[in-house]
Amino acid sequence: MAQKQNRYSQIIEHIFRSKFSKGSTRVEFERTDIETAAAKLEIRLPRNLGDLIYSFRYRVDLPDSIRADAPSGMEWIISPCGRARYCFLAVSSAIIAPSPMLVATKVLDATPGIIDRYALNDEQALLAKLRYNRLVDLFTGVVCYSLQSHLRTAVSGMGQVETDEVYVGVDRRGAHYVFPVQAKGGRDKLGIVQIEQDFAMCESKFPKLLCRPVAAQFMEGGVIAIFEFEKTDSGVGVSCEKHYRLVPPSELTEAELETYQRRSD
């Protein structure tokens, strides 16, 4: 793994250096630049070119030499900007992390045991827990239904984007919503670029529905952090964050239920 990441780092650094001009806040490149960089450096080309991009978007930090050239108070993200095209983009905040101070609400676990036993990875396990425990409904206050898992589609100006799961919902007024959901488990990171893509996807594919992007992430001890986002003048921000812990009935006490009853929305 370390050898692969070192190879990836050399390639991505070469691409950045070949395109970057001092003071830039946007540095564009193409997927074919990965092949060019690998040939120039005499490095074995990754079998999956997309894995290199994915790694630096969601799993590991960009090399220090690249991060050092970000404008003051900003950091680089890799964002899609067309079919097989990407850009290093300087933003004020790139990674979304759960608040360690937020209290977790206990929810009776309705996940079928057979799902827990055979879930193949953290992301799939998280999506299953969201679905079987209706956590999207609970978090948003809207009756929600899973429409499609792993939606891949093309968005103008971005190229192909992927959303882990798409829910549609209806509230007590009868208003309809679309909830694109991003799920992260293991060592994958939740980045703001994914949420920007979800907003763009909703505008393109579900223009008449109210778009409320949601993201979920496993924390230590199996706690599930869920976020909702909204657009502001300064970009996308977190508008709501809640933490949930799935438990058997014996671990939810009467005192805790009374505490929940006294909470305000």
What's phi and psi for 106, nearest 5 deg?
Answer: -80, 135
- Residue 220's nearest CA partner among 82, 95, 98, 110 is 98
- Supply the pLDDT for residue 186: 67
- Supply the pLDDT for residue 245: 97
- Residue 34's nearest CA partner among 57, 20, 22, 16 is 16
Compute the distance between CA of residue 99 and CA of residue 92 in angstroms, rounded to an integer.
18
- Supply the pLDDT for residue 249: 96
Compute the distance between CA of residue 17 and CA of residue 15 in angstroms, rounded to an integer.
6
- Supply the pLDDT for residue 94: 65
- Supply the pLDDT for residue 204: 94
DSSP single-letter state for residue 58: I
Q: Helices in the chain by DSSP H: which ranges?
A: 2-19, 32-41, 49-54, 64-67, 113-118, 122-132, 135-140, 192-205, 254-262
Question: Per-residue pLDDT tens for 69-113?
Answer: 988 888 898 888 877 888 998 887 767 889 999 999 999 999 999
Compute the distance between CA of residue 202 and CA of residue 194 in angstroms, rounded to an integer.
12
Which tokens sit at 24?
Answer: 């830039």
Q: Tell me the C-alpha to C-alpha distance, in Å, between residue 109 and each of 3, 84, 142, 247, 249.
A: 40, 42, 20, 5, 8
- Residue 160's nearest CA partner among 127, 193, 201 is 201
Is the pTM for the entire model greater than 0.75?
yes
DSSP single-letter state for residue 25: S
How distant is the alpha carbon of residue 3 from its chain centre?
A: 26
Placement of tokens 């979800």 in the chain: 198
Residues of the chain where predicted confidence (pLDDT) is lower than 70: 1-5, 94, 186, 234, 265
Q: Tell me the C-alpha to C-alpha distance, in Å, between residue 39 and each of 20, 31, 44, 49, 51.
A: 20, 14, 8, 13, 18
- Supply the pLDDT for residue 3: 52
- Supply the pLDDT for residue 230: 92
- Supply the pLDDT for residue 168: 98
Do residues 160 and 84 lie in contact, with contact meaning Cβ atoms separated by under 8 Å? Answer: no
- Supply the pLDDT for residue 120: 78
